[in-house]
A = this chain, B = another copy of it.
Amino acid sequence: MQRIALLTSGGDAPGMNAAVRAVVRRALAAGCQPIGVQEGYAGLIEGRMEELDHRAVGDIIHRGGTILRTARSEAFRTSEGQQRALEQLRRHGIEGLVAIGGDGTLRGALALHRQGFPVVGVPATIDNDLAGTDVTIGFDTAVNTVLEAINRVRDTATAHGRTFVIEVMGRHSGQIALMAGLAGGAESILVPEVPYDLDDVCARLLRGRQRGKRHSIIVVAEGAARGFEVAQAIEARTGLETRVTVLGHIQRGGTPSGRDRMVASILGAAAVEALLAGQSGVMVGVRGDGWMATPIEEVLASPRPLPAGWMELAEILAR
A288 is an interface residue with CB less than 8 A from chain B: yes
**Stretch from A85-93, A102-110, A189-197, A309-317 forming part of the interface with B:** A309-317
Asked whether, in the complex, the Cβ of B289 is within 8 Å of the Cβ of A252, the reply is: no
Q: Assess whether B65 is in contact with A158, with CB atoms less than 8 Å apart.
A: yes
CB-based contact A183/B65 at 8 Å: no
On whether the beta carbons of A259 and B316 are closer than 8 Å, the reply is: no
Task: Specify which of B63, B152, B184, B214 is in contact with A61 (CB 8 Å cutoff).
Answer: B184
Contact partners of A262 in chain B: CB under 8 A: 179, 182-183
B265 and A313 form a contact (CB under 8 A): yes
Our pick among B144, B154, B161, B254 for the contact of A151 (Cβ within 8 Å) is B254
Query: What is the count of identical protomers in the complex?
Result: 4
Q: Which residues of B contact A266 (CB under 8 A)?
A: 313
Which residue of the partner chain, among B11, B245, B261, B265, contacts A250 with CB atoms under 8 Å?
B245
List, in ascending order, chain B residues with CB within 8 A of A213's CB: 58
Residues 109-147 of chain A, each 1 if its beta carbon lies under 8 Å from chain B, else 0: 000000000000000000000000010000010011111
Chain B residue, CB-CB nearest to A64: B155
**CB–CB B21/A249 < 8 A:** no
Which residues in window 10-25 of A have CB below 8 A to B?
11-12, 14, 16, 18, 21-22, 25
